[in-house]
Amino acid sequence: MNNILVILLLSVCLAKESWQEKYEVQEIKGSGQLEKTRKSHEVTVVEFYTQWCIDCKKAAPELHKLSQEYKRNKNVKVVRVDIDLEENQELRTKYNVMSIPALGVLTKHSARLEQVVPQNEITFPSLRAMLEREYPTQLAQQVESGQIKNQKKQEEEEHKILIDEEVLQ
């Protein structure tokens, strides 16, 4: 019985660690760290979550995709705030987080949480569309250059495949 309990605890700990490592989104601890991050970026996407929340775990890969999409854009930062941590209770109260996951946007010039996204809309396409719609001046150049690079790369790969097929024939 004790062995089963130990194995169960180890598997839970390992699963928690691998889940956190898999999705690289900055964890915020305390209002000071969130404020510093907000002031350092034009747009900060914030997810309020808990470790035990299943919907929060479903949102994690979507936030990871968003974070990766804007990784090279210094104007955008994607962060997560675990509202169960004692040091984040002030943030939970300040932003009136009543349900989780809760997602919103802070801007460099405003500490007011804006554009809260409903739980059922936390998908990479909806998040990206919301950012592009609401914050075009902060994102436009980075998104366009990233899309152009991806499009050119895809065209080069398709061209290479055509050339390889011609050589084989």
Residue 129 φ then ψ, to 5°: -65, -40
Exposed, middle or buried by CB within 10 Å (0-12, 13-18, 19+), for 149?
exposed
CATH superfamily of 20-135: Glutaredoxin (3.40.30.10)
Structure confidence by residue, pLDDT tens digits, 98-125: 888 888 899 888 888 876 666 677 788 8
Structure confidence by residue, pLDDT tens digits, 21-69: 455 789 999 999 999 999 999 999 999 999 999 988 988 898 899 899 8
User: Which pairs count as long-range contacts for 139-145, CB under 8 Å and 24+ apart, including other chains?
Assistant: 139/43, 139/70, 139/73, 139/75, 139/76, 142/70, 142/72, 142/73, 142/75, 142/76, 143/73
